[in-house]
Structure 1
Amino acid sequence: MSMKYVVVDLETTGNAAKGGIDKIIEFAAVVIENGEIQEVLSTFVNPGKSIPPFISELTGIYDEMVSRAPSFADIAPMIADLLENAYFVAHNVHFDWGFLREEFMQAGQPVPHCPVIDTVELARILLPTAESYKLSDLAKQFQLQHDNPHRADSDAMVTGELFLLLCEKLQSLPFVTLCSLHELSRGFQTDLEQLISFYILHKEQTPYEQHYDIQHGIALKKYVSPKSFYKESISFSAYLAQVNANLQVEMQGFERRTGQMLMMQKVHEAFIEERVCLIEAGTGTGKTLAYLIPALFHAVQEEEPVLVSTQTVQLQQQILDKEIPLLEKILPFSFKVAVMKGRKHYLCLHKFEHALLEEDKNYDSLLTKAKILVWLLQTETGDVDELNLPSGGRFLWERICNTGPSSMRWENRCFYKRAQHQVYFADLVITNHAFLFHDTYKEDALLKSYPRVILDEAHHIEEAASQALGEKFSCLQFQATLSRIGTLETEGALTRVSKRLETISPLFKEINDWLKEIKFESDELFRMLRAFLFEKQGNIDTVRLIQAYDAQIEKGKLWRAIREAVNRLSHSIDKIMKIYTVEEPLSVVYEDLQSALMALEKQCEILKRLLTQKLDGVTWMEADVKGTLHSTILYHQPADVRDVLAQRFFTNRKSVILTSATMTVKGNFDYMMHALGLSSFLPMTLCVPSPFSYQNQVSLMIPTDLPHVNEVSFEAYTAAMVTHIIEIAATVQGRILVLCTSYDMQKRLYTEVKDSETLPQFAVLNANAGSRSRVVKNFQQFEKAILFGTSSLWEGVDIPLDCLIMVRLPFAPPNDPVMRRKGQALREAGENPFSALSLPQAIIRFKQGFGRLIRKESDRGLFFVLDRRIATKSYGKDFLASLPELAVYEKSLQELLCSIKK
């Protein structure tokens, strides 16, 4: 590496560089030449002003440390010399370069001219699967010593070492990938084009790469055929003994858990006896290994594959990344695993190849293409869940993902086909509930031949089955499809086709006119749907509107106008589909337009059904009160899926294991068996308690000085909640998760606690401010933080907590359309909807929320329930009885807080 790179990091008094509002307080530089660190420079800088306390707290730099330091004007000539004929490199370079430029101008010095490289941008391209691109996270990933984060010398050294690693990565890329990256780099934010050019010149002198497949100018990781393996017969007891011995070797401090062993035996027994089995396994049981170990024994010994389904794609990935590598080490035989997801999770190489050839000026799109080029050198699956996409990258993915049969050009490298092929030869297939139940209802179901199934997070099965049988129309998704098609005046599939034709034919002018009509008609329809929602709901102070409706019964001028509008919209789309023809062999550019038009047609068919036809089950619409006209979503779901589940799913399997940490109500499985229609299958059951000592690890606090939730206004109740949350946080001084049962409550509590400014040392976070994983990662970075969340944080989140606050018992909202229909059916059958439905569901939800607090034996925490009903209502004891034995304190808040301080 013959070029000179100066890696810089600055500490400043704040973020406002413009006009010299904030100043540099520390400068550090690492000089790199010939691929090695040659020089390290560091100095404090006197900013000529006081350093704000929070900056001193963050950096450890105080006024007395910089009082005798040189001013920036004193060191400006030295920095200018340093940067001469060099690349300026920094992590988030725009911040550091912007500050330096401003300081040079403020000092009356000429600003050096040099190309800049951002290690954030470079890392995003070369490390496409990294979870985070923060310097501290990358340092941890590469085991770089980072002793003093937020100090310029430490940050500059780590950035320099990271840059060298990224350059090694760049050097290792195949020639064709480097050339493709070079084409894209003209649209990057920093001067990576010159850096990539250097490595292309270097690459031309090296032998051609042999360990990649090069097809149509794209380099891919070579497929490696799975190894054949030898299997010998072994008894289950001998197998378990061997597995436990291996676990003790592989897992430091491993101890056999009685509950885990019981669960393994039960799963094995259910497989042998061909039974349905319900297993509740408390937190800390080791539930995943407890079902995978017997499942793989059966699959390999009996040569009969086992299907495992999880609630989310993330849990699918967790099993693959965490449990499977461990099992490969501890099991006495080899096994094959396959993962199956919906088509759109997989990259279509044919579409991606064409996307690379397009003229593209969108930064997120260019960055996504670059990331995929590098990712293709390492991925075996082509599954988007491996990628860390930029926010705008999802729009490109919608265009380049697999939506149908692969082209002949790339048929031998189709990722979706490969996933299907692996399913046929796997011992263990891992899927998710959404894919499983959508597949179950198909005639050509891929997974119907698996006689033994394990359903993890089984308390979601009813909901997943209902959603798979139902339909959903999103106004925003319809708008996105229209944008994907575009018009002749805007970027989109239609424009790309017309560019290919080089002339705009009358056919495309006609399609263009109809598309404009569809845009106008759909916007009018979506406005009317919002108006209908507001008309039905009245002037309610809420965040989200939810309204059930019956398309055949609704009357009035507005509803007639809605029906007429959807018919006009359908007519316009029919016109386009009739006049659209392909005048040449179907190329990628035509495929993109055709698939987008077909998606539009399909969405319109769903919309027409939901707004004009009589449907069994429940139909409803939702929208954010302050959302755009495209925020409305229409739903249709069956209210009862028991018969369908029995006929299409359970009857066709030899054995089904349903497991979760929350399946029992009042100590039995009656509610779950009834909800899933399992009573006639006479299922086996097992309840495995958590191994944690909750009496020593958790204190349940019930403040007595709170108003009853149903006896005061929403405003009075939230005001009391805010006061209690602030006082609890001031005492706990740690990480606090506040679980809310509605968006209205969450928004109000978050806003008022944040605006109160009574907890300046706390980070106050809103779970709706980004993806769940990003919010959780942000929350974990603070020692003192309060996170307000709703449904997404009640389960499946593993966060070290000091305190959990539940503001209300988690009963379903009274306007939940599906719950109302179920309640109506129960009343008609002579049952009590509260005791038969609302209470059991709330108890299961309550247990899920409680499960966030203690995740391992060393955890200690406080559990505050700010809903007096748990102590004053007769059903309150049912909630308390659902928890493991723990200490319960019911006193005024001040008395509770005093007991904590002791």
Structure 2
Amino acid sequence: MNSNSIYSVVDMETTGTDSANEDRIIQFSCYQVQNNEIINEFTTDINPNREISSRISQLTGINQQRLDSAKPFDALAGTIYKLLQGTIFVAHNVNFDYPFLNSEFQRAGYPELELEAIDTVTLSQLLLPTLTSYRLSDLSKYFNIFHKHPHSANGDAYATSKLLIVLFKQLQELPAMTLSQIVRVRPNLPLDTFEVLKRMDADNRSQPTAKPIPNYLYIANGIVLRKKELLSNSQEKVVATYPKNKRQKQKVLPDNLESRPQQNTMMNMIYNNYSEDNQSGSKNLIIEAPTGVGKSLGYSLPFAYLAEKKQVVISTATNYLQQQLQDQTIPLLNDGLPFHTSSVILKGSSHYIDLSKFKTVLYSSDSHPHNSFLKCQILVWLTMTKTGDLDELHLNVDQNGLLESINHRSTKEINSDNPFFSDDFLRFNIQNAKRANFIIVNHSYLLSNWEGFSKLNEKPYLCIDETQQFLESVRTENKQQILPGMILADFDRTSIGIRYALSAEIFSNNESLSSSKQKLVWLLSSARASVNETFSTIFKQIISRASYKKANSKLQVNVNAKNRDQYLDLLTNLKGEIAPKLKQLTKYAKRLQSEVNNNNQAMVDSDKHELKSWFQQLEKLETRLVDLLTVIDLFINHFSEQVFWITVDDITNYETLSFNCAIFETANYLKKTIYNNFEKPTFTGATIFSSKKSKFIFDNLGLQRNDVISRRLKSDFAASDKARIYMVNSFEPDSEVGTEKYYHFLSESIQRIFRNSPRQTMVLFNSLDAIRQTYHFMAEDGFTETRMVLAQGVNGTANKISRAFGQQEPAILLGTGTFWSGVDFPGDLLENLIIAQLPFDVPTDPYNSALYQRARMNKQNPFYSISLPNATLKMRQGIGRLLRTKDDIGTVFILDPRAVTKHYGSIMMANIDSNIPIESGSLDESIVNMLSFYEKH
């Protein structure tokens, strides 16, 4: 491999992926590249001497007749073999193409190729670590490479050859230090791909003078980083008058945006509420702004004018929505406003890389083979990122092991003696947030870090977008689970560590160290005994009431005012014993740490490693004990604001006990965290109200109506012209929801709807089990063999099938959970929506069960006060998936019989408030109406 090497970029279309059995090549294409130019091209169809499937024909555009007239591989093998000799083989997924081609050569009587072979997929992943997809079509789009016929060998080989040229240029622009570090880490790359990096590194080293790094980069402690600048603290103040009417707004909006009537109303409501001209003072705002209003711009523009006086915190549901505000909405504002507005995204500490930790593990050996590759991706990413936000890497769950060793744990870790103190990304983002007009956070961050905002000189404005998700976050952030078995296991690991695992020589010659060790041993033993005694007593009390005691039998006890006392004394005593011992544990651990630091020079590396691991284990135990004391404090002092329940997953096993709590009364919590530390908030979202009066939302937010201005805006989309809702009202006897007959009915109905109108279809369920059963019947009918059906929990995770659904047309997606509210498929990516089940929460869920019991004790009917409003909101969110832009059209089928046979079904449907016409009829009638609707559109 040298500067004059010829790279043979190959792509093949095949009948399948298994070359060892019956699969064969049906098209071969090769583009040859030398010195970053295409110098030769060869493409041919190949007769596989067998029938190809309709799916392969549809995918590649190659039909059977065309292949029957082509030469077989045996007749072409010599030409292809000669073409590739003396070149370097390249493919986009070389581990497929190279072995497959060699299998064909062997079958034709030729020896295997013995070429160097490199892979453009992993090179792309290494050099472009922030992309979300490395499919050839997506990379072609990203680099503006002409890719005329995806899934044809000729089109794919041409695009891959152009991609290879781009990747070589990317590699040449990589700082020499970064490339050298990658080579030293030695990532595990397919076949000979690593040799490309080695050759480039060797070329760099052979130069008489070192290659300078670009001006936008700098070197910090041996790591190449992107330069970043703090926002100006003295931005030029521009006196700007808020544009109140449509004509004035049109002047400050970008030319490609029109002022929308409902959006204009929203903007004025917000500005007028907080304006100094408002003599009566501001109130809490609740603004329901359905799709089509332009909600993000609707609140961002008035707050941009208000931000000239004090900061604005925008809280939204997800990291993705944070980024969308930063990358799309704020730039739109700056295109038209007479002044510049700045913004910063803040996330929890764990989202940011700790450069010091990364430097420490960079060259350490890894048990997981992917970690070395990830380290190299991070080295490249550090030359790009200005935020240090690890989310930019779009990593998978299986890569969390390395991330947990290189991310920040808290802001307390940022010490001035850290060699990367001045370069630290978390510190930089926090500093920038103090200077920005807009601080963009997600709900979880807001609820976990409200104290940071309380320290600002002035109360900031607060806009909470996606209000329904905010309320869910309030519940999630306040759910805690104590697992006594895990606490005891951590006690044991920590005790064993200090008693036996740590080398005796560490303590033998130091009396102070030895004394601290003995005190810690006693404290650990004593505290463990207290925890064990308390929860073993609770366990015995619970199982003594069990009617049967069979292994694996589960049990749940909801703790209420009637049975609280039997646990109160036990937990109060435990708190009295654990709290002082935890303080002492912390005290003696610090003393031990200090002694270790003083004796650091006298210790060997193995001792230092053992002590470091032990201190990490102790920190984990201390965290568990703090969580335990927090829950006990809630039980003693805030019982009325929480729900508590105890579960035992196996009544013969004490270690399966868990003690749980979650928030019930949110008013005091929100007052303490939100209302006391911000100006009166603006709450907005596409679906907030569950009914016209909607007592539900006021109760959940803990707000009084007389201190709230609320408005339900209308969509600027003419929904009545763009969609229909079909409520199926004819069902077979005994086909109640949850029965086998019902799932069979769902399967048949989905198939009939799709066969009559094969469009992008999403089916919303209420559980993974319901999806599995419905998919089973669809598979039994053979439907899944000829149609693309993507079932959550069957074909993959929500993220995986969501990506596949966006890439396959037409397809059916069977989903639950986030598909009701958290996923967007605009345009023709979603045209038919099927509601398989009304979205009621599972009443037997431990939290729901405890919550409903508490409601009953407060003289409320939990179904009508909690369950039905929640289901109505979720139903509105689900239907809202259909029309995401002004050009969208589509239909909704509701197949749950309860929507038409139960009184609560009519209540729910009456409160959908979607402006979409609702038609009732049999499935046959509904399908006819659907076809008529699409004929007109």
Q: TM-score, normalised by structure 1?
A: 0.86
Q: Note the C-alpha offset of 1:400.
A: 0.4
- Give the 5 Å matches for 1:668-683: 668-679=693-704, 682-683=707-708
Q: Note the C-alpha offset of 1:198.
A: 2.3
Q: Note the C-alpha offset of 1:373.
A: 0.7
Q: Which moved more, 1:595-604 or 1:420-429?
A: 595-604
Q: Which moved more, 1:47-56 or 1:147-156?
A: 47-56
Q: Note the C-alpha offset of 1:36.
A: 1.1
Deviation digits for residues 170-216 of structure 1, max 9, x if unmatched? 11010110001112335323323321122223334354114211122
Q: Which moved more, 1:318-327 or 1:411-420?
A: 318-327
3-state SS of paired residue (2:472): helix
Q: Could you say which residue in structure 1 is the equivalent of 2:906?
A: 877
Deviation digits for residues 825-879 of structure 1, max 9, x if unmatched? 4434444333332222221111111101111222221111112232233333332
Q: Note the C-alpha offset of 1:393.
A: 1.8
3-state SS of paired residue (1:237): coil
Q: Which moved more, 1:60-69 or 1:725-734?
A: 60-69
Q: Is the 8 Å Cα contact of residues 6 and 32 (structure 2) preserved in structure 1?
A: yes
Q: Could you say which residue in structure 1 is the equivalent of 2:278?
A: none
Q: Could you say which residue in structure 2 is the equivalent of 1:850?
A: 879
3-state SS of paired residue (1:788): strand
Q: Could you say which residue in structure 2 is the equivalent of 1:457?
A: 466
Q: Could you say which residue in structure 2 is the equivalent of 1:96?
A: 97
CA distance in 1, matches of 2:453, 2:319: 23
Q: Is the 8 Å Cα contact of residues 88 and 117 (structure 1) preserved in structure 2?
A: yes
Distance 1:397 1:631, change over 3 A: farther
- Give the 5 Å matches for 1:520-535: none
Q: Could you say which residue in structure 2 is the equivalent of 1:217?
A: 222
- Check if 1:393 corresponds to 2:403: no
3-state SS of paired residue (1:765): strand
Distance 1:839 1:390, change over 3 A: closer
Q: What amino acid is aligned across from residue 596 of structure 2 in structure 1? A: E
Of residues 619, 639, 646, the one that matches 1:598 is 619
Distance 1:885 1:842, change over 3 A: same
Q: Could you say which residue in structure 2 is the equivalent of 1:583?
A: 596
Specify every segment of 5 or more residues in structure 1 that has no aligned partner in the other structure, as ranges: 489-493
CA distance in 2, matches of 1:136, 1:866: 38
- Give the 5 Å matches for 1:493-642: 547=556, 549-550=558-559, 583-584=596-597, 594-595=615-616, 597-603=618-624, 606=627, 614=635, 616=639, 617-620=642-645, 635-642=660-667
Deviation digits for residues 580-618 of structure 1, max 9, x if unmatched? 857347899676763454134423654697799956323
CA distance in 2, matches of 1:537, 1:891: 48
Structure with larger Rg: 2
Distance 1:446 1:765, change over 3 A: farther
CA distance in 1, matches of 2:748, 2:159: 44
- Check if 1:296 corresponds to 2:321: no
3-state SS of paired residue (1:658): strand
Distance 1:213 1:285, change over 3 A: same
Q: Could you say which residue in structure 1 is the equivalent of 2:725?
A: 700
Distance 1:610 1:427, change over 3 A: closer
- Percent sequence identity is 29
Of residues 418, 424, 434, the one that matches 1:414 is 424
Of residues 760, 772, 783, the one that matches 1:735 is 760
Of residues 203, 208, 212, the one that matches 1:208 is 212
Q: Which moved more, 1:756-765 or 1:131-140?
A: 756-765
- Check if 1:866 corresponds to 2:895: yes
Q: Is the 8 Å Cα contact of residues 270 and 655 (structure 1) preserved in structure 2?
A: no
3-state SS of paired residue (2:844): coil
3-state SS of paired residue (2:420): helix
Q: Note the C-alpha offset of 1:47.
A: 1.9
Q: Could you say which residue in structure 2 is the equivalent of 1:895?
A: 925
3-state SS of paired residue (2:253): helix
- Give the 5 Å matches for 1:272-287: 272=275, 273-287=281-295
Q: Which moved more, 1:216-225 or 1:129-138?
A: 216-225
Q: Note the C-alpha offset of 1:283.
A: 1.1
Q: What amino acid is aligned across from residue 302 of structure 2 in structure 1? A: P
Q: Could you say which residue in structure 2 is the equivalent of 1:664?
A: 689
Of residues 822, 834, 839, the one that matches 2:863 is 834
Q: Could you say which residue in structure 2 is the equivalent of 1:491?
A: none
- Check if 1:655 corresponds to 2:680: yes
CA distance in 2, matches of 1:308, 1:427: 11
- Check if 1:724 corresponds to 2:753: no
Deviation digits for residues 629-664 of structure 1, max 9, x if unmatched? 999987421211112212442133322100011112
Q: What amino acid is aligned across from residue 599 of structure 1 in structure 2? A: K
- Check if 1:181 corresponds to 2:182: yes
Q: Is the 8 Å Cα contact of residues 644 and 850 (structure 2) preserved in structure 1?
A: no
3-state SS of paired residue (1:147): coil
Q: What amino acid is aligned across from residue 870 of structure 1 in structure 2? A: A
3-state SS of paired residue (1:875): helix
Q: Which moved more, 1:142-151 or 1:73-82?
A: 73-82
Q: Could you say which residue in structure 2 is the equivalent of 1:6?
A: 8
Q: Note the C-alpha offset of 1:134.
A: 0.9
3-state SS of paired residue (1:364): helix
Of residues 258, 263, 274, the one that matches 1:260 is 263
Q: Note the C-alpha offset of 1:285.
A: 0.8
Deviation digits for residues 35-55 of structure 1, max 9, x if unmatched? 111111111122232222221
CA distance in 2, matches of 1:58, 1:537: 60
Figure out how many residues of one structure are paired with residues of the other and give that number: 861
CA distance in 2, matches of 1:803, 1:186: 45
Q: Is the 8 Å Cα contact of residues 556 and 648 (structure 2) preserved in structure 1?
A: no
CA distance in 2, matches of 1:749, 1:47: 38
Q: What amino acid is aligned across from residue 295 of structure 1 in structure 2? A: F
* Root mean square deviation of aligned Cα: 4.4
Deviation digits for residues 41-71 of structure 1, max 9, x if unmatched? 1111222322222211211222322334333
Q: What amino acid is aligned across from residue 778 of structure 1 in structure 2? A: A
Of residues 763, 769, 772, the one that matches 1:747 is 772
Q: Is the 8 Å Cα contact of residues 730 and 759 (structure 1) preserved in structure 2?
A: no
Q: Note the C-alpha offset of 1:710.
A: 9.3
Q: What amino acid is aligned across from residue 65 of structure 2 in structure 1? A: E
Q: Is the 8 Å Cα contact of residues 764 and 835 (structure 2) preserved in structure 1?
A: yes
Q: Note the C-alpha offset of 1:820.
A: 3.9
Q: Note the C-alpha offset of 1:15.
A: 0.7
Q: Is the 8 Å Cα contact of residues 438 and 469 (structure 1) preserved in structure 2?
A: no
Specify every segment of 5 or more residues in structure 2 that has no aligned partner in the other structure, as ranges: 276-280, 933-937
Distance 1:786 1:547, change over 3 A: farther
CA distance in 2, matches of 1:244, 1:284: 18
Q: Is the 8 Å Cα contact of residues 346 and 382 (structure 1) preserved in structure 2?
A: yes
CA distance in 1, matches of 2:904, 2:36: 70
- Give the 5 Å matches for 1:346-357: 346-357=352-363
- Check if 1:789 corresponds to 2:805: no
